[in-house]
């Protein structure tokens, strides 16, 4: 093959490659143009962060964020998920192209102190930004507060009476006073006193402002056994915090524990091992458990005999219930009463059930 022929073939191949590349570029440009012509929504947040600055503790903040659709298709807000401490009241679910909508968020500052940042996460059909965040910033200032804390916690026995105190103070310029107190029940009693100048805590509150000692007493015969989770409401003259809540938490424990609280012997013969059962009593008094004493045990069922004795640990007793050796066959259905020295619950009553089966003489058929 001549050099001239080779040169011609090479030139033809080069021209073909250039043509193919131009064709590919033209197709890519066409595809890009077609994509640009497709309609899509676009989320634009006019003000994604709301700065409230300093707000009084207890204020209810509410703000409507403006959301704009700068795309060319309907923008759908699929969800508005609040972060901790923030609530979404409502939001526009569909926003037309070029139009605006709103997402309204609420923040209750009652349980916050200092700087806070509460968020709402938007989920939309915007392909470029499927999620966006709205934020409320504020500095929560407690114009009325309690020292050492705005809560009290109790852990005591039923019938005990315990008092804890807090000091209520104000950061306001206006005269401060307690005007009323609301308690959750008659098992909580509250008294308060304006402190003399010499009694005031100079490290808290506005200088020269009045302070109050609030004494909170919990317990007595009306206190129910179990956990406590209530609030005392202190009504004040403060324009920023007219009501100050004090949380009352803790637990009221029974004075003693009984295990089990009922007995069922099942079907037994007087000679069976199961015909003897024990009930344990344990004093919950950690300071003076020896003051708890079992004094007497009575059975209303003739077929059941009883006995009791103190155990090695102070305040612990064992009560023994025994099916009597001469118990007649038949049902057991009655109670056993345990008498104690406890002033709150001096007598505990245990239901007792079972069946005494007929004895079978040795060497004879049960038939």
**DSSP symbols for 249-305:** EEEEE-SEEEE-SSEEEEEE-TTSGGGEEEEEEEE--SS-GGG--EEEEEES-TTEE
Kindly calculate the radius of gyration of the chain based on its CA atoms and give it in whole angstroms. Answer: 40
Question: Which residue's entry shows tokens 């401490």?
Answer: 85
Q: Which residues pair with 101 in a beta bridge?
A: 67
Q: Are 101 and 84 in contact (CB under 8 A)?
A: no
**Prior bond to 260 cis, omega within 30?**
yes
Residue 318's nearest CA partner among 263, 258, 275 is: 258
Instruction: Express as a percent the part of the chain with pLDDT over 90.
Output: 78
User: In the chain, what are the domains?
Assistant: 43-141 (2.60.40.10), 144-253 (2.60.40.1510), 256-356 (2.60.40.10)
DSSP class of 17: H
Residue 144's nearest CA partner among 239, 65, 76 is: 239
What is the model's pLDDT at position 361?
56
Residue 354's nearest CA partner among 331, 335, 326 is: 331
Chunk the chain into consecutive blocks of 10 residues (it has 367) and report each block's average pLDDT, rounded to whole numbers: 53 57 51 59 95 90 95 95 89 96 93 92 95 95 93 95 97 94 94 96 93 96 90 94 94 96 94 95 95 96 95 97 93 96 95 87 47
Give CA–CA dist 88/206, Å, rounded. 36
Residue 264's nearest CA partner among 323, 347, 351 is: 351
**DSSP symbols for 266-277:** EEE-TTSGGGEE
Give CA–CA dist 56/141, Å, rounded. 5
**DSSP symbols for 44-86:** EES-SEEEEEEEETT-EEEEEEEEEE-SSS-EEEEEEEE-TTE
What is the model's pLDDT at position 366?
43
Give CA–CA dist 331/329, Å, rounded. 7
Give CA–CA dist 130/220, Å, rounded. 59
Stated pTM of the model: 0.66
Q: Are 107 and 61 in contact (CB under 8 A)?
A: yes
**CA atoms within 13 A of residue 209's CA, in its CB half-sphere:** 22
DSSP class of 196: P
| 264 Cβ contact partners less than 8 Å away, ≥ 6 residues apart | 352, 353, 354
Q: Which residues pair with 104 in a beta bridge?
A: 64, 90
Residue 257's nearest CA partner among 277, 278, 279 is: 279
């Amino acid at each position: 093959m001549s050099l001239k022929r080779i040169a011609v073939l090479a030139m033809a191949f080069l021209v073909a490659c250039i043509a193919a590349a131009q064709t590919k570029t033209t197709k890519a440009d066409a595809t890009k143009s077609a994509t640009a012509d497709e309609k899509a929504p676009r989320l634009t947040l006019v003000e994604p962060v709301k700065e409230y600055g300093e707000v009084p503790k207890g204020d209810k903040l509410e703000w409507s964020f403006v959301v704009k659709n700068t795309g060319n298709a309907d923008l759908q807000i699929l969800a508005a998920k609040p972060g901790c401490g923030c609530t979404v009241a409502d939001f526009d679910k569909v926003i037309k192209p070029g139009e605006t909508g709103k997402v309204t968020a609420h923040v209750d500052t009652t349980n916050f102190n200092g700087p806070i940042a509460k968020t709402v996460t938007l989920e939309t059909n915007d392909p470029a930004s499927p999620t966006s965040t709205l934020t409320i910033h504020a500095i929560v200032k407690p114009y009325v507060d309690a020292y050492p804390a705005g809560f009290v916690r109790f852990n005591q026995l039923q019938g005990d009476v315990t008092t804890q105190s807090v000091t209520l103070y104000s950061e306001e310029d206006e005269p401060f006073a307690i005007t009323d107190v609301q308690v959750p029940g008659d098992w909580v009693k509250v008294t308060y006193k304006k402190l003399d100048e010499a009694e005031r805590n100079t490290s808290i509150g506005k200088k020269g402002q009045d302070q109050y000692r609030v004494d909170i007493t919990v317990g007595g015969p009306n206190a129910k056994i179990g956990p406590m989770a209530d609030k005392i409401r202190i009504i004040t003259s403060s324009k920023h915090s007219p009501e100050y809540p004090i949380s009352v938490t803790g637990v009221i424990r029974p004075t003693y524990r009984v295990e089990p609280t009922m007995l069922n012997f099942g079907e037994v013969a007087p000679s069976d091992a199961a015909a003897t059962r024990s009930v344990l009593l344990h004093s919950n008094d950690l300071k003076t458990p020896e003051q708890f004493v079992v004094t007497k045990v009575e059975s209303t069922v003739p077929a059941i005999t009883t006995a009791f004795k103190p155990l090695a640990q102070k305040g612990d007793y064992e009560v023994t219930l025994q099916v009597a050796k001469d118990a007649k066959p038949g049902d057991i259905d009655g109670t056993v009463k345990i008498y104690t020295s406890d002033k709150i619950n001096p007598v505990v009553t245990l239901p007792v059930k079972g069946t005494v089966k007929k004895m079978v003489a040795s060497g004879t058929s049960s038939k």
